[in-house]
Amino acid sequence: MRAARTDIEAMSLPPGFLDELRSRLSLAQVVGRKVTWDMRKSNQGRGDWWAPCPFHQEKTASFHVEDRKGFYYCFGCHAKGDAISFVQETENVSFIEAIEILAQEAGLPMPERDPRAQEKAGQRTQLTEVMEEAVKFYRLQLKTAAAATAREYLLKARGLSPDVLERWHLGFAPDGWQALWDHLTGKGIAPDLILQCGLARPSDKGRQPYDTFRNRIIFPIRDARGRAIAFGGRAMDPGDKAKYLNSPETDLFDKGRSLYNHGPAREAAGKGQTLLVAEGYMDVIALSEAGFGATVAPLGTAITEDQLRLLWRISPEPVIALDGDTAGLRAGLRLIDLALPLLEAGQSLRFCLLPEGQDPDEYLKAHGAEAMQALLDEAQPMVSLLWQRETEGKVLDSPERRAALDRDLRAVIRRIGDPAIRAHYAEEIRRRRGELFGFGSPRRAATPRRGRARAPEVAPVAGTRASMFAAAGDDDALALREAVILATLIRTPAALDEFAHVLEELEFSAPGHAALAAVLLGCDPDDTRETIESRISESLGTRALESLLGPRHVTLAPSVRKSGDLDLARLCLSEEIAKLAALRGARREIEEAMAGFGETPEAWIDYRLKLSARAQEMAGRNQETDRTEYEIAENGARLDRDERSDLDALLNAIGFDRPKRRRE
């Protein structure tokens, strides 16, 4: 009785709705919410999953899911079905309720119940039969004398063999207004079905409908199940306005949700091949015939969001093969903007850039399959193309231009929806930015030669003995200052915009601080403290904040205690950043001075050590005695102009520009 009721309810749905729903869903994802996969027995690449059965008690993995076919079967209790029946059984809901649950998950709105759906479903079947008749007609036409030019183009100019033409069901549309129309109507096919398939168009001059494709090489477009749903046609007349023409949108064909060679590519990817995305039909055919069977193409337009999701269902990291011209690169850059908000852990894109002026078909002919494989092996991650887009051709010779780059990069990173991925992108962008501007990677200290003295320990002066920084070792002092900077920015996000460029340039020594900085750089100055703390917890776990705020000195810092006080945050950040840079610079100066002891006059060594000791002393001064500037000597007197210049030279040498106090 339940099966009969299910059939009746299915008939009430519009034709193709269930096919669309199944194509959008992964059975493994639906089932995965209820079972624990046996990863030793499962083969994710082939869509072959095993788990203990959710329908009966067992310890062994006898429940089998074939994700690519969309069916499950238990070898113990013999339960079987698809995603819809699985939700019915596990959720104890009706057929329509299961459809509603899955449709919501797939982002597919439920259609109006249609009492004539059975009739429409039968009509859809009729449409696919008409399309297959058209395939047969076009294939026969390619063998006629009228198609001699088309055959010469395919066999000689494109280098295809007759077997390839047969395997891909290539055809030819004659140069006549009603050749296909007359053929199909002569076989008794209703004119309205021909029009619904998009094979002909009605005349606006009161004449008979005319063929959509005329004097074109025909490429059948099939859905994932291998059914002909549309055609692509390449013009043989160089003067034709459209070189390539696709079927119009029909009940069978949605261009933005379809891929050329979808079914065979999915099967090849399931056997371990890399999923490739090429630009056109001939690229797909050439790559597939060369052994790259997991190749698809969008249908004459830029990849849509639905097509991108289809690609990720086939493979978690497709490779986009870009033509080696400006248009190809531009298409790849547009795809980045589409993909960024949709990225998930393990789900991304890679890009294969072909030599200038070549597409995959031309490159294969010139260099062969091995060279093509070598190019694919060197495919770049998406972040590389993103960095190239944001920096290529730009002259970054001023602070204002660098600030503009920082602004643009932060805006791009904020588009990433997943917090963890956003943090990793921010960290990678920070690394590349450091390489571009000559900072960011730790500077290698000179190594003292054998037998030479090591750098002396510089004891804290009387004014700083009570400070936690002075009590700690150099490494602990660095970590504490880093923690104060990060905690201040978390508690007062409004300071992010002003200090983000400094945060990007800092070298973090404490474990976890670089990851925290990456999350902060992906946040917006308008975000609240609670929002930022939540993002940190999502990306790095709750222990990240606990570890940061653990030391008593961090929680007692005025800028941390008084959340949201922007003026206080600016003051404290300026101090801590300057002291951090000075402390690191002092250590480097001492190491370099001692390393060059044998080759440098003693007077210069003494001078550098004195300057370094002064910088280290000032880096550790108590915040209450050294509020803002680095211009106070040991005895409390201001440094004279020369000494101040020497100290400024030291700070500049270590790559630090002292932040200037903002004046309201």
With cut-offs at 50, 70 and 90, classify the pLDDT of residue 475: low
Two tokens at 472? 């700690």
Amino acid at residue number 210:
Y
Measuring CA to CA, which residue among 291, 267, 263, 292 is closest to residue 277?
A: 292
pLDDT at 340: 93
CATH class of 121-253: alpha beta
Which helix (H) or strand (E) segment holds residue 233: the answer is strand 228-235
Tokens of 480: 């504490």
Instruction: Report pLDDT for 513.
Output: 87
Least confident of 150-154, 411-415, 605-609: 605-609
Q: Which of 223, 226, 228, 194 is nearest to 211 (CA)?
A: 194
pLDDT band at 99 (very low <50, low <70, confident <90, very high): confident
Q: What is the mean pLDDT of residues 76-89?
A: 85
pLDDT at 588: 62
Fold type of domain 2-106: DNA Primase; Chain A (3.90.580)
Residue 414 three-state SS: coil
Q: What is the pLDDT of residue 598?
A: 40
Strongest mean pLDDT among 175-184, 480-489, 582-591, 648-657: 175-184
pLDDT of residue 459: 34
E strands present in 236-309: 244-246, 276-277, 295-296
Q: Alpha-carbon distance 62 to 65, whole Å?
A: 10
pLDDT of residue 139: 96
Sorted by sequence, the CB contacts under 8 Å of residue 543 that are 6+ apart come out as none
What pLDDT, on the 0 to 100 scale, is given for residue 383?
Answer: 93
Read off the pTM.
0.58
Q: Side chain identity at 47, as an amino acid letter?
A: G
DSSP string, 33-65: TT----TTT-BGGGTEEEE--SSS--SS--EEE
Average pLDDT over residues 286-314: 89
Of residues 235 and 553, more confidence is placed in 235
pLDDT for res 140: 96
At 655, the pLDDT band (50, 70, 90 cuts) reads: very low
Round to whole Å and give the CA distance between 590 and 456. Answer: 8
pLDDT digits (tens, 9 = 90+) for 144-171: 999 999 999 999 999 999 999 999 999 9
How confident is the model over 203-222, as a mean pLDDT? 91
525: pLDDT confidence band, cut at 50, 70 and 90? confident
In the structure encoding, which two tokens stand for residue 625, read together?
A: 């005695």
Q: Does an H or E element contain 618, and which? A: helix 602-619
pLDDT exceeds cutoff 50 at 43? yes
Residue 635 pLDDT > 90, yes or no?
no
Q: Residue 118 has what pLDDT?
A: 54
Structure tokens at 269: 């990817």
CA gyration radius for the chain? 34
3-state secondary structure of 295: strand
Contacts of 91 (CB under 8 A, 6+ apart): 97, 98, 101
Q: Is 174 left (phi over 0), alpha (psi -120 to 50) or beta?
A: beta
User: How do beta strands 216-222 and 171-173 pair?
Assistant: antiparallel
Separation between Cα atoms, residue 225 and residue 23, nearest integer Å: 10
What is the sign, positive or negative, of the torsion defined by CA atoms of 424, 428, 433, 438? positive
Q: How far apart are CA 306 and CA 311, in angstroms?
A: 9
| Tokens of residue 541, six digits | 């776990």
Read off the pLDDT of residues 576-604 as tens digits, 9 standing for 90 and up.
Answer: 888 877 777 666 655 555 444 444 444 44
Q: What is the pLDDT of residues 440-470, one digit of tens each?
A: 444 333 333 333 333 333 333 333 333 444 4
CA distance 498 to 515: 20
Can you give the pLDDT at residue 141? 96
Tokens 């801590």 sit on residue: 576
Is the pLDDT reported for residue 371 higher than 60?
A: yes
What CA–CA distance (Å, rounded) separates 116 from 123? Answer: 11
Mean pLDDT throughout 633-661? 44
**Residue 544 in contact with residue 511, Cβ under 8 Å?**
no
pLDDT at 217 over 60: yes
Per residue in 244-296, pLDDT (tens digit) is 999 999 988 989 889 999 989 988 887 788 999 998 899 999 999 999 999 99
Quickly state the pLDDT bin for 48 (edges 50, 70, 90). Answer: confident
Instruction: Please report the pLDDT score of residue 606 as a whole number.
Output: 56
Looking at 92-223, list the stretches that DSSP marks H as alpha helix, in order from N- to C-terminal side: 95-106, 117-141, 148-152, 162-167, 179-186, 191-196
Strand order in the sheet with 319-322: 295-296, 276-277, 319-322, 350-353, 380-381
pLDDT attached to residue 161: 94
How many DSSP H helices and E strands does the chain contain? Answer: 30, 15
Q: Which fold has domain 264-388?
A: Dna Topoisomerase Vi A Subunit; Chain: A, domain 2 (3.40.1360)
Q: Which letter does DSSP use for residue 257 in this model?
A: G
> Residue 72: beta bridge partners?
65, 81
Calculate the average pLDDT of the chain. Answer: 78
Give the per-residue pLDDT at 626. 38
- What local confidence, expressed as pLDDT, does residue 439 receive? 57
